Chain A
Amino acid sequence: MTSSITETLTFECETGNYHTFCPISCVSWLYQQIEDSFFLVIGTKTCGYFLQNAMGVMIFAEPRYAMAELEEGDIAAQLNDFKELKRLCLEIKVNRNPSVIVWIGTCTTEIIKMDLENLAVLIESEIKVPIVVARANGLDYAFTQGEDTVLAALVNRCPSEELTPAVHQEVDKTNQSDQSTIDDSLSSQKTQHPPLVLFGSVPNIIQKQLITELKQQGITVSGWLPSRYSELPVLNSSVYVCGINPFLSRTATSLMRRRKCHLISAPFPIGPDGTSSWIAKICEVFGVVPESLKEREEKSWSYLKDYLELVKGKSVFFMGDNLLEISLARFFIRCGMIVYEIGIPYMDRRFQAAELELLEKTCQAMNVPFPRIVEKPDNFNQIQRIQSLQPDIVITGLAHSNPLEARGITTKWSTEFTFAQIHGFTNSRDILELITRPIRRNTNLNTLGFTTVVK
């Protein structure tokens, strides 16, 4: 690697021969987040086998999702799609009584051109359960983009106005000293701003933490996409929206184009730097001067000291599979790491504009070269590059982890970042806990003297 610092970020595109999860995997976290839903994946044995294996023990917990497994008769159009889907959806209605059934279209339904959108309208009116269609297939999307397709479909189901006349909610604003934030009743000032809806699926506890952070700046969150189907947020031209995950570009587009919402383009609240910039940007849009935000961020960094010592100067290589890569790389660089390559399945430069800008600024501030951003990477080529660069840690999927470890290269399983709690100030420790775990483990084991275990 050269140490010269280039002027701007560069983007490359490879062959797209890379390993990632199929986007239908999003059902595994979305069915938990949308508590009154049922997800029906319309596909083949291949889809079912993937879900069954990728979900691990979750599959035994009677999840609220199932496969509508297509058989030869369905493919050859000997069976009637309408009758078949209606039969299955009625069965689901009787057994599970969900508020909404989400159909996940797959590669097969795309290729045989099953008209899911129209079928959904017909069946919805007959069985009286809302049916939302999301085409989360491997022909078009990678892994976390599955969530994007589902949320984009849900956008159309959000109410456009409150049942009661819409009033901008008045918000309690607490004094900003850290002690007094504890007590909501200590409100002394009032702030008004248009309604703010956040989008991106995270566990309730993270939602609550981010809402609390904003509340401390006097900003109220009036809704969250997704939520229970019966509690979907109101969306109209007075609503401001802000994403919390980097892979939600279609959802953002739908919010802007179909519901005329105002998109706040901000870096994503991952890491203290990301969280702080995210809050600052929202404040800026609402004309609020953030109070003690820098102090808040500094304090958050101070809690990370022990981890920062471990990661400082270490080099990272992202093979790319879940679209969180830019935000994580930006955070790691701010932590003092050196990022060689950011592989990423798909790069929406408009939706991630603020995040990319922060990445640039961070590189400059930390005086490190810009990482190379590789869209649609080629895993074979990447492994050649990894072998010549010998990074301290490779963030990659399970298909490559063990073989790389056997060759003495430390890895972190990328999917864990998707399932772990990584948003907000509070969870920055968890990200570093994840990334340092293999470093700590291998530091222990390296004294044994056998780092490579292949012939």
Chain B
Amino acid sequence: MKLAYWMYAGPAHIGTLRVASSFKNVHAIMHAPLGDDYFNVMRTMLQRERDFTPVTASIVDRHVLARGSQEKVIENITRKDTEERPDLIVLTPTCTSSILQEDLQNFVNQASLNSKSDVLLADVNHYRVNELQAADRTLEQIVRHTISKAKKQNTLDLTKTLKPTANILGIFTLGFHNQHDCRELKRLLNDLGIEVNLVIPEGGSISELKMLPQAWFNIVPYREVGLMTAEYLKSNFDMPYISTTPMGIIDTAKWIRQIEKVLQQNNFKPKFNIEEYIDNQTRFVSQVAWFSRSIDCQNLTGKKTIVFGDATHAACMTKILTRELGLRVICAGTYCKHDADWFREQVQGFCDNVLITDDHTEISNVIEKSEPDCIFGTQMERHVGKRLEIPCGVISAPIHIQNFSLGYDPFLGYEGLNQIADLVYNSFSLGMEEHLLEIFGGHDTKAIVTNDIPELSNFAWTPDAVIELNKVPGFVRKKVKRNVETYAEQQKITEITAEIMYAAKEAVG
């Protein structure tokens, strides 16, 4: 048992549901007690989804505990099959259901006898893997299942496309800026004369999955999700994959050169010089190479920062801050403990210290002790920053609704770098602004936002009324007081009690 207040990565079933619900026409059925379908809320709220989340629960209740859930699960699967005719139904165990130790695989086998949809049991251990690991595993499982099925049915066509094509693996729902990143990757590939074969899981359909091997290679933009699938496709179909994250000038160039190498191996010669393309993008399309040389940016030199997030974003951010913007990263950390070795290797030489932890108090203590000029982290670090009055840019999940921006805001590629530079610069200039304001005596509007009750008044406020008034949040207190006094005046009352306040609220709101 451990005392926990906050977690960076969610439970395993969330990862499975994120992958399943990203596909088109795939339905997930959770084997879970009432209230565990909170994922649906997150998806419709955070991502402002217009469609109903294709996730339902087969409820585990007292009756299920007594009798077992066999009939109920099978019934729910076949019901969903007839209601929505999905291509695939993914039965998703939860931590509760996994303790029941029912033979869910057996239910799946039985249900698939009667249903037109494919039925799959998500193979994740709730007590050993987290959300991200489960997502990686589920994506691989769905791909493996579909391709094996095609192989059996002899519908697997392994002919490569005529023109160079790539699959993008690991773009999915509730991912940090995933939609924008995907658009940016497509744009880059288009520039390089490469077509996108499939993007999975987001928007992908099960029937298309058998076309995955027709692409020349795979792109895995994020460490967390997609690597297992890429490995599977490599070992079964000898498909190369690129797992470099094209975030920052240097890594984007590296990513492009790796693509060039794949093309060369396939004896394909791009119509233009790749190095010229990189150079042009770096110096003129992206603003950052120039931005970091501009006078303004001198002020950022050697500024102390702390970086924390998932492995992909924290590692890339650390490298960008140090190599490309000239700041100093005093501590780089990740909560992806399962990927600690890779992370250490990536940030080696780019930061003073490495921190691998999923305990938010640890990173919070480091921030408190080392007093950085700026933090780049998750929403948790943003709140730590607020408490300590240190600016923070959010670079990784877990995130709130404001991190699902409506406007185009990628983190990858050349446009992504522009966005990152803005994020870094804005965090700092705001920090500086606060600092300067403090030095020069603060905003001259300070008096207006005071919480005190104005003295001048023709009304006698009884002590209990003053207590009630003080319970009203400071920023509306003045308005409430005015409303109450207006009401009292109308009623020709000169002494204001708590009761008068309630009456006024009822009358004027």
Contacts and interface: CB of A to CB of B under 8 A. Distances in A.
Interface of A: 16-17, 19-24, 42, 44-46, 48-50, 52-54, 56-57, 59-60, 63, 66-72, 74-75, 79, 84-85, 87-88, 91-92, 107-108, 110-112, 137-143, 178-179, 181-183, 204-205, 208-209, 212, 300, 303, 380, 383, 397-403, 406, 425-429, 433, 453-454
7 contacts: A22-B33, A111-B100, A138-B35, A138-B96, A205-B468, A212-B502, A399-B53
B34 A22 contact: yes
Contact of B3 (A46, A88, A303): A88
A17 B502 contact: no
Contacts of A71: 1-2, 127
Contact of A182 (B5, B51, B493, B505): B493
Most chain B CB within a 10 A radius of its CB, from A183, A403, A425:
A403
Contacts, number: 190
A209 B502 contact: yes
Given A79-B1, A425-B506, A139 B495 contact: no
B9 to A, nearest CB: 9
A403 B52 contact: yes
Interface of B: 1-7, 10-11, 13-14, 32-38, 40-42, 44-45, 48-53, 56-62, 65, 76, 83, 94-96, 99-100, 126-128, 130, 380, 383, 400, 468, 471, 491, 493, 495, 497-500, 502-503, 505-507, 509
Contact of A401 (B44, B61, B96): B44
| Top 3 A-B pairs, shortest CB-CB distance | A22-B35, A138-B33, A406-B50
Given A138-B33, A398-B44, A75 B96 contact: no
A44 B37 CA distance: 15
* Residue picked from B61, B380, B383, B400, most chain A C-beta under 10 Å: B61
From A204, A399, A400, A406, residue with most partner B Cβ within 10 Å: A399
Contacts of A140: 61-62
Nearest to B11: A45
Nearest to B14: A49
Given A66-B5, A406-B51, A426-B503, 18 more contacts: A44-B96, A45-B95, A46-B13, A46-B36, A46-B94, A49-B38, A67-B5, A87-B1, A107-B33, A138-B32, A179-B493, A205-B471, A208-B498, A399-B41, A399-B44, A399-B53, A429-B505, A429-B509
Given A45-B95, A208-B498, A429 B506 contact: yes
Given A72-B128, A88-B3, A138-B34, A60 B383 contact: yes
Contacts of A205: 468, 471
Contacts of A63: 5
A402 B76 CA distance: 25
A73 B502 CA distance: 54
A183 B464 CA distance: 12
Nearest to A452: B50
Given A53-B38, A139-B33, A429-B506, A182 B50 contact: no
A400 B62 contact: no
A140 B36 CA distance: 13
B35 A403 contact: no
A46 B45 contact: no
B34 A400 contact: no
A49 B7 contact: yes
B500 A182 contact: yes
A24 B505 CA distance: 33
A44 B507 CA distance: 47
B94 A453 contact: no
A44 B62 contact: no
A23 B4 CA distance: 19
Given A54-B38, A68-B3, A17 B13 contact: no
Given A49-B11, A74-B1, A303 B506 contact: yes
Nearest to A455: B50
A209 B96 CA distance: 42
A22 B35 CA distance: 4
Contacts of B49: 402-403
Contacts of B498: 208, 212
A400 B52 contact: yes
